[in-house]
Amino acid sequence: MISNPEETLELARHTLQIEADALSDLRQRLQEPTHGRAFVDAVDLMLVCQGRVIVSGIGKSGHVARKIASTLASTGTLAFFVHPAEASHGDLGMIAGDDVFLALSHSGESDELLRILPIIKRQGARVIAMSGNPSSGLVQNADVFLDSGVATEACPLNLAPTASTTAALALGDALAVALLTARGFGVEDFARSHPGGALGRNLLTHVSDVMHHGNELPVVNADAGIKEVLVKIGRGGLGMVAVCDSDGKAIGIFTDGDLRRAMEKDVDLQGKTIRALMSKAPYCIEVQRLAAEAVAIMDKHRINQLLVVDGDKRLVGALNMHDLFRAKVI
C-alpha cells in the first residue's frame, strides 16, 4: 500500500510539469533562427529523399526511434527502424546512398551509432542527428542537428531518460506532421495504411460495398396496394420498400415503422395504395459516397433505412443500420 497518497500524486504532477516544460522549451527553441532553419532542413532532406528514411537509436532512444519510424511510415514517408548494434553485423546492407539516416542519442556519444556513422556517410547517405548534446561526436558528423536537449530529467536522480525521451518523441511527431502536410497526405491516404482498423473501414468502405441491390431490392410503384407492399417488405428483409416512379426515381419509402404507426392510429388500410401511406421525399445517399456518411445521415434523421441513388436520382440500392453494423462501419 502507498503510505502517502498525496506525496505520490504530487510526484506525478511534478513529473508531468517537468515534461511539459521540456516541450515548451522545445517549442520556443524552434522559434530561434538557427534551430528553426535546422528543422526545416531536416524536413527538406526527408521530403526529397529518393530512398528511405532510416531511423536508429540504442536503449530508450531506440524505443523512441522505432515509434518515429512507425509514425513516418504510416503518414506517407517510406521509413523503417534499424538497430545500430545489428547494423554492425550485417544490417548496414539495408542502408543505401540515397537514404536519409535519422540518428537519436541524447548524449550523442552512443558507441553503436558512432561506429557505423562513418560507413553510412561513406555510402553517401545524409545524416540527421537528434541529440541533446551539440558538441557530441554524433552531432559533429551530421548534416543537420536537431536539438532535443532538456534542462532536467523528470527522474528525481536526473538519470533515467524521461523528459529527454518525451522531447525526442514530440520532435519526431513534429517532423512527421510537417512531412505529411508537405506531401499533401490526406485522410484517405492514411486509411490505406490502416485498412485493418476502424478508421480504415470508415474511410475505405463505400455505400456500394454494403448496399442491397438487384433482386434484393424491394421496389414498388406508387399505385401498389398494401398487400403487395407487405409481401415485398417481408421478402426483402430490410424492413422497408422503396417507391419509384416510371423513370426509376425514388419518390417515397414505406417502412415497417410506418406500418406500425398507421395501425396505432387505426388507419384503414383496405383499398389504399402506397401513394397515400408512404413517406414522400425520402432520405437518399448517392452510391459513390462513403458508408460513414450514410451512418451520419441515419443518426441525424433518426432513421434505420436509407435509399441509394445514382447521379440522376434513380434508385440503385438500399441499406439499413444492420448492414453498417455487419460491415463494422459503426
Helix (H) or strand (E) segment spanning residue 244? strand 240-244
Does 300 or 157 have the greater pLDDT score?
300
pLDDT score for 194: 52
Instruction: Kindly list the distances between the CA atom of residue 88 and the CA atoms of 91, 113, 119, in Å, as whole numbers in the listed order.
Output: 7, 9, 10
pLDDT at 24 over 80: yes
- What is the rounded average pLDDT of the residues 92-105? 94
Arithmetic mean of pLDDT over the chain: 90
5-185: CATH class: alpha beta
pLDDT at 254 over 60: yes
Residues 6+ apart with CB under 8 A from 287: 206, 207, 208, 211, 308, 309, 310, 316, 317
Q: Give me the phi and psi of 163, to 5 degrees please.
A: -60, -35
pLDDT score for 195: 54
By CB atoms closer than 10 A (0-12, 13-18, 19+), residue 8 is exposed
Does 131 or 94 have the greater pLDDT score?
131
Least confident of 55-64, 164-173, 280-289: 280-289
Delimiting residues of CATH 3.40.50.10490 domain(s) in the chain: 5-185
In the block, which residue shows the cell 532510416? 54
- What is the rounded average pLDDT of the residues 108-131? 95
Does 272 or 201 have the greater pLDDT score?
272
- What is the rounded average pLDDT of the residues 262-278? 85
pLDDT at 90 over 80: no
Delimiting residues of CATH 3.10.580.10 domain(s) in the chain: 207-326
Q: Report yes or no: 21 and 151 within 8 Å, Cβ to Cβ.
A: yes
- What is the rounded average pLDDT of the residues 292-308? 91
Does 311 or 100 have the greater pLDDT score?
100
Per-position b or e across 34-51, b if 16+ CB within 10 A of its CB = ebeebbebbbebbeebee
pLDDT score for 157: 84
Pick the closest to residue 172 from 259, 242, 103 (CA basis): 103
pLDDT score for 252: 94
pLDDT score for 191: 58
pLDDT grade for 307, boundaries at 50, 70 and 90: very high
pLDDT score for 193: 59
pLDDT score for 9: 94
pLDDT at 249 over 70: yes
Distance CA 106, CA 162 (A): 11
pLDDT in tens, 178-229: 999 998 876 666 656 555 555 555 667 889 999 999 888 999 999 999 889 9
Topology (CATH level 3) of domain 207-326: CBS-domain (3.10.580)
Hey, is 314 helix, strand or coil? strand
How many residues are present in the chain? 330
Q: Which cell numbers in the block locate residue 307?
A: 435509399
pLDDT score for 21: 97
Pick the closest to residue 320 from 188, 216, 172 (CA basis): 216
pLDDT score for 330: 66
- DSSP class of 273: B
Report the percent of the chain where pLDDT is more than 70: 94
Report the percent of the chain where pLDDT is more than 90: 65
pLDDT score for 122: 92
